[in-house]
């Protein structure tokens, strides 16, 4: 079936009746910051507390591991998954960790004449891109013959619908790996993951399919995860060796935390993720900006 565009095939492969996310447990196939360490959720809890927010909405909650950490920090948590309707109003700290990279989007390739063409389910070239997708490409991801790109409009629309529901005093944060207009990858990023390994993004339900997010087109302030987490108190500093003598158990626990923090902060790994945040009122913008700047 080569007439479906790659986006349609991608959607069916992940979320259709036999789709990957209907059958598989995400943590068995990839590792997010949530799986890397509870320090991640604890830092988000500190962000909520600094903004006097008591509720968290975990969008794209997966198996709900983040919610467990947040509840242990005294927050009330609403897990939302695909198929749940978004409430009309979203209140509190609204987090979407590695959700947007799983929102299927059109993949395009510029032909020899410099026209962007939609790729079909087998990644062969289809019709020339027109309309909103074309405008999005011209504004956010211009290319030339031989380049490939992912049209981020489906991610932008999803995020805009989240942000439009925010109540005053609330904060929405999308956390994902991505790129900015100044550093778009020339050949796109769509890829597959199976059993923790990268694989070809074949849209047959056998693997997760993901593409990095055009963070700047979402609209919002952007801070690197490394900087956000550091400003929320995550540190990879190892405990002093003296502690090993006086309090060996505490030393081991702090050493293990430092290792987990290093993974969350790694400049070429999870630390390079972007946190794109939006609040709808000036006071929350000011407080969030203080809480999240390194
Ligand atoms: C990569 S997993 C991340 C899970 C979890 N947030 C974590 O960090 O471990 C992406 C999750 O987003 C969910 N998802 C994708 N599109 C969604 C949508 N439109 N609404 C709600 N959840 C969605 C998927 O079902 C999947 O559970």
Across the chain, what does the average pLDDT equal? Answer: 95
User: Could you tell me the distance, in angstroms and rounded to a whole number, from the CA of residue 225 to the centre of ligand 1?
Assistant: 19
Domain ranges for the chain, please list them.
6-292
pLDDT in tens, 265-287: 999 999 999 999 999 999 999 99
Task: Convert the pLDDT of each residue in 150-169 to its tens digit.
Answer: 999 999 999 999 999 999 99
φ, ψ for residue 81, nearest 5 deg: -125, 170
- For the cut 80, the answer to whether the pLDDT of residue 172 exceeds it is yes
d(CA 220, CA 168): 16
- Position 141 scores a pLDDT of 98
Nearest atom, ligand 1, residue 208 CA: 1
Question: Does residue 2 register a pLDDT over 60?
Answer: no
* Alpha carbon distance 51, 150 (integer Å): 35
Please report the pLDDT score of residue 124 as a whole number.
Answer: 95
Instruction: Tell which one of 66, 78, 102 to mutate to probe ligand 1, the residue whose CB is within 8 A of the most ligand atoms.
Output: 102
Q: Would you say 85 and 271 are in contact if contact means Cβ atoms under 8 Å apart? A: no
pLDDT tens, position by position, 30-77:
789 999 999 999 999 999 999 999 999 999 999 899 999 999 999 999
Tell how far the Cα of 172 is from the centroid of ligand 1, in angstroms.
Answer: 15
Q: Which of 11, 231, 198 is nearest to 102 (CA)?
A: 11
Q: In this structure, which residue's CA is closest to atom 27 in ligand 1?
A: 62
Q: Token pair 């008591």 is at which residue?
A: 54
Which residue's alpha carbon is nearest to atom 1 within ligand 1?
Answer: 98
Confidence tier at 173 by pLDDT (50, 70, 90): very high
Nearest to 9 by CA among 246, 183, 209: 209
> Is the beta carbon of 37 within 6 A of some atom in ligand 1?
no
Return the pLDDT at 1.
Answer: 47
User: Would the CB of 188 count as within 6 Å of ligand 1?
Assistant: no
Span of 140-144, 202-206, 211-215 with lowest mean pLDDT: 202-206
pLDDT band at 112 (very low <50, low <70, confident <90, very high): very high
What's the CATH class of domain 6-292? Answer: alpha beta
User: Which atom of ligand 1 lies closest to the CA of 15?
Assistant: 25
pTM of the model: 0.95
How confident is the model over 221-246, as pLDDT tens digits? Answer: 999 999 999 999 999 999 999 999 99
Ligand 1: distance of its center to the CA of 239 in Å?
35
- Ligand 1 centre to CA of 252 (Å) is 34
Closest ligand 1 atom, residue 21 Cα:
25
Ligand 1 centroid to Cα of residue 88, in Å, is 19
pLDDT-derived band at 294 (thresholds 50, 70, 90) equals low
> What pLDDT score does 79 carry?
97
How far is it, in rounded angstroms, from Cα 40 to Cα 54?
Answer: 17
Dist CA 47 CA 27 (whole Å): 25
CB of 99 closer than 6 angstroms to any ligand 1 atom: yes
The angle that helices 282-292 and 38-50 make with each other, rounded to 10 degrees, is 140
pLDDT digit string, tens, across residues 77-92: 999 999 899 999 999 9
Ligand 1 center to 13 CA (angstroms): 14
């Amino acid at each position: 079936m080569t007439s479906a565009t790659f986006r349609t095939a991608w959607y069916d492969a992940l979320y259709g009746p036999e789709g990957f996310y209907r059958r598989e447990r995400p943590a068995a196939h990839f590792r997010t910051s949530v799986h890397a360490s509870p320090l991640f959720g604890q830092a988000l809890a500190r962000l909520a507390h600094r903004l006097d927010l008591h509720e968290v909405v975990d969008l794209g909650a997966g198996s709900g591991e983040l919610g467990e950490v947040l509840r242990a920090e005294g927050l009330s948590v609403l897990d939302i998954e695909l198929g749940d309707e978004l409430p009309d109003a979203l209140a509190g700290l609204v987090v979407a960790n590695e959700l947007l990279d799983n929102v299927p989007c059109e993949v395009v390739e510029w032909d020899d004449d410099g026209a962007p063409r939609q790729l079909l389910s087998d990644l062969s070239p289809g019709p020339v891109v027109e309309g909103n997708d074309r405008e999005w490409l011209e504004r956010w991801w211009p290319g030339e013959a031989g380049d490939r790109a992912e049209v981020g409009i489906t991610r932008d629309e999803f995020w805009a619908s989240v942000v439009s529901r925010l109540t005053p005093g609330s904060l929405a944060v999308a956390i994902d790996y991505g790129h900015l207009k100044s550093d778009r990858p020339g050949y796109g990023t769509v890829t597959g993951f199976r059993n923790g390994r990268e694989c070809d993004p074949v849209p047959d339900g056998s693997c997760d399919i993901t593409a990095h997010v055009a963070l700047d087109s979402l609209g919002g302030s952007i801070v690197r995860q490394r900087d956000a987490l550091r400003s929320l108190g995550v540190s990879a500093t190892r405990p002093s060796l003296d502690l090993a003598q006086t309090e060996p158990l505490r030393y081991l626990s702090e050493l293990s935390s430092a290792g987990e923090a290093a993974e969350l902060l790694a400049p070429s790994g999870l630390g390079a993720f972007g946190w794109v945040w939006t609040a709808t009122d000036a006071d929350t913008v000011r407080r969030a900006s203080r809480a999240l700047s390194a």
